[in-house]
Amino acid sequence: MEDFLPVPSTEHMEHSPSMQLSLDPSDSDVPRTAGPRCQLGKQVGAGPVIALEYTGDACLSSCQEVAKAIATETGSTGLVYVSSQANSALRQIEAVFGAAASRGLQ
């Protein structure tokens, strides 16, 4: 397995600073936020899950483009989930971290 996950480039991300995402949990600076149990609990319990919060102008459309690129390149639509509505995205992120915390996966 690679040390860093390559992120596909999209039109919206061309002007964003480049970065690499570490696959090593000890490198994570992401806080674990408690929240209600969620429907993604099965996926969280099955193995590593990376949850990112990305905000700003056109963030949903750019993230959806990345998810589509990953699905096209891999042939799998289940690898990436992008919130469809901005107002529900925060609750979904909190729910994923809450499910991980309830299983002691922090």
In degrees and rounded to multiples of 5, residue 60 shows phi and psi of -65, -45
For residue 14, the model assigns a pLDDT of 56
The pLDDT of residue 1: 38
Q: Give alpha helix (H) positions in 1-106.
A: 41-46, 59-74, 86-102
**What pLDDT sits at residue 83?**
81
| Run of H or E including 22 | strand 21-22
In the chain, which stretches have pLDDT less than 70?
Answer: 1-45, 49, 78, 99-100, 103-106
Please report, as a single letter, which amino acid is at residue 68. K
pLDDT of residue 103: 66
| pLDDT score for 40 | 55
User: What pLDDT, on a 0 to 100 scale, did the predictor assign at position 24?
Assistant: 53
**Which letter does DSSP use for residue 40 in this model?**
T
Phi/psi for 22 (5° steps) reads -75, 140
Question: What per-residue confidence (pLDDT) applies to 56?
Answer: 75
